[in-house]
Chain A
């Protein structure tokens, strides 16, 4: 079995799977139960200012019968007494010395208040602190959470207060509700944070009850924006993680968060540079037991691929990310339909015909339709392949022999060298030379 242990900014855990700061990590009972089932770490549900929660707190986004493709919430930080939390954190850490116990904090933006809570947190014996600059609802209106994360200067200032007094690693949790996540990430770096956690939840209205016309979740008829999480946010989270990781000025370990449901999701975050991953919605849906397959699946994959440690895996796909301008314009693929596998649902046809580039013909044969790609017209968009419900039925076949490459950036500079303007006509000449037909 592969070694799954990690060290995320000085916080060590036997595997990369942490509970995110959220309802599943609310109590000692829950965190201890999670550790029993194999979780490598926990980020204790945010403690700090006195708050009160409301009923109802969660809204589910169901997709074609699949429950909780997304989940939003208007729950606040821990509403249990702060002393209870501190006591339970200390007890939990004592019981589970090999697991990572990180405590999420959020208080009003006063230096003394922050430094006081940091010291009390360090006294619990926990392994690290996570600064909640992301909570997009309820707390932000009180000048905390996302209200801090959205302003790099505040982010830097408060992080400095914390790192000044903290003797344990400090992670800064970033909100995605910004135009460019790089700036708060750099601010955290400048303030000597040890790592970053991202993403926090995304501002959302999850839906409307079409009978009562109430916003969901409804609090006695009233609703609000909430924080959106769950499988549907993963692509956004993956992108933001990659953006932060690739920024040369940030250079901090990352705890990846956002829609992680299983080991494959987790692995994608790790391949884009995350050291640990945090999970909430999947646990809220299915319970702590999901970690068993996460550990098992990741370990099996690593064994199969010959990776011994996660250090060997981390960031492996980063080199695959590049700018559009560096893509080879002469790379040519066309769709190929395996007629033996085709079940005649014709979804590729209608997708291509109505939604893409009209390159598939529907030819009646023996009472059903045969879908045939007109290769000369196929632009290689791959929509047909992704809508096909049969695995391996539609494949994108490479048509160029990779002997020639020309990127957009190269083309533009070539035009410059040849003293040519970037015009439709000049572009058409290039396309014609390389047999590229636009229809």
Chain B
């Protein structure tokens, strides 16, 4: 990079990456739990993609039954600490809280869930569930992200031998590598991974399917296979200059930050992030918090079109991110290093039936934004190298096609869930897929035997 941002002091880094929602004390958790109305058939539970019985786990906090509360949560969701901290709760459970309709502050469900699970992880982990006797069958899981972990945990309790194949040296997928550290620290994700391992799930790291081991081999070893590989390569911008030093993929950048060795991560003095999704916000705020002086979001559509949640937009604004809406990158300028990005203004037409607006370039509106680093965050594509070789698996619009109830792919021994089937949603959606797929697998193998 041509102009690397000055490094900060350790105190500054720690302050910048301190948790947005620090853990509740017991007193404050109990007070908040007592505020919960204990709704019947509660809207929050329905809004949670994993349908955690939220009012029940909250009432258990109030009655000082924290173990029972943890059990209620794990019963529906195997990665509840990650969800507690990384879920867009404003859009899900807390957004559905009846207090919102009452015109009052919703119950802090995310923080209460985090309190319960952290309390459990800090205990000597008494057994919450009885494991069925081993049934002699085994399931191979590809990917140790939330979908794979949830599938593995559920199957292990059902009596299966479970082995997860993970290409990274450190397991957890995006829970470990893809969430802004001020929301979730890596150590929290790894506590969850360790807990799932304690249920008997084996995780083999540094194993890349298609390279270290073939998909055929996994297919042959196991009675069923679950694919929870998420998404892979970042979508290309397809503009000149994309190969310059200083152009990075958002997820690679976020992953580097997740090592939590803040001063090892170089960011430019001026950074432009292309795209306005939630990943873009993570990337831009992290760049700012690492010491970048000027940070931009460049987005070709308008404020109403961006997929970033409102609260993410608020975080970005409070980090002094400059949003360039209706602006399209044309080329990245520089000899070897990024020196700037040439953009052009666009005009948006009427929305079509899909809600998308036509983009019309404004003639002669080109301008050059001098930047030292460009972070690409315009989406990811499925990494389907090894899937292409598997008979029966269909990929449509970049998603693995599965049965919506059983999560079975076109190959009846192979199941899939998470980002690779939905094109990229929340951790909580993947956690639900993994759990439900485990039951799909169980039903399939029971019928077979």
Contacts and interface: CB of A to CB of B under 8 A. Distances in A.
A64 B64 CA distance: 11
Interface string A347-369: 10110000000000010000111
Contact of B39 (A64, A65, A345, A390): A345
A124 interface: no
B98 A349 contact: no
Given A65-B62, A367-B46, A389-B102, A346 B41 contact: yes
A interface bracket (residues with beta carbon within 8 Å of B): 10 to 19
Nearest to B59: A64
A345 B62 contact: no
Contacts of A344: 39, 43, 98, 101
B3 interface: no
Most buried by B among A346, A349, A350, A362: A346
Nearest to A348: B40
Contacts of B445: none
Contacts of B39: 344-347
Interface in B26-68: 30-31, 33-35, 37-43, 46, 62
B37 A389 contact: yes
Interface of A: 64-66, 343-347, 349-350, 362, 367-369, 389-390
Contacts of B42: 345-346
A342 B54 CA distance: 20
A367 B101 CA distance: 15
Most buried by A among B34, B40, B41: B40
Interface of B: 30-31, 33-35, 37-43, 46, 62, 98-99, 101-102
Contacts, number: 40
15 contacts: A64-B34, A65-B33, A65-B34, A344-B101, A345-B39, A345-B40, A346-B39, A346-B41, A347-B38, A347-B39, A349-B40, A350-B40, A369-B41, A389-B102, A390-B102
Most buried by B among A345, A346, A369: A345
Contacts of B30: 65
B23 to A, nearest CB: 19
Contacts of B43: 344, 368
A390 B99 CA distance: 10
In the complex, the 9 A-B pairs of residues with the closest C-beta atoms, listed nearest first: A65-B34, A350-B40, A346-B40, A345-B39, A343-B98, A343-B101, A64-B34, A345-B98, A343-B102
Given A343-B98, A344-B39, 14 more contacts: A64-B34, A64-B62, A65-B30, A65-B34, A343-B101, A343-B102, A344-B101, A345-B39, A346-B41, A347-B37, A347-B38, A349-B40, A367-B46, A368-B43
B93 to A, nearest CB: 14
Contacts of A347: 37-40
Nearest to A368: B43
Contacts of A368: 43, 46
A215 to B, nearest CB: 19
A51 B62 CA distance: 40
Nearest to B63: A64
A166 B337 CA distance: 103
B100 to A, nearest CB: 8
Contacts of B102: 343, 389-390
A345 B62 CA distance: 18
A350 B42 CA distance: 11
A369 B98 CA distance: 12
A367 B35 CA distance: 24
Contacts of B35: 65
A121 B222 CA distance: 93
Contacts of B31: 65
Nearest to A346: B40
A296 to B, nearest CB: 27
A346 B41 CA distance: 7
Contacts of A362: 41
A437 B34 CA distance: 39
A347 B33 CA distance: 17
Contacts of A350: 40
Contacts of A66: 34
B105 to A, nearest CB: 14
Contacts of B40: 345-347, 349-350
A368 B42 CA distance: 9
Most buried by B among A66, A349, A369: A369
A350 B101 CA distance: 20
A381 to B, nearest CB: 18
A343 B37 CA distance: 11
A347 B46 CA distance: 16
Nearest to A367: B46
A361 to B, nearest CB: 13
A90 B39 CA distance: 58
B392 to A, nearest CB: 35
Nearest to B102: A343
B393 to A, nearest CB: 34
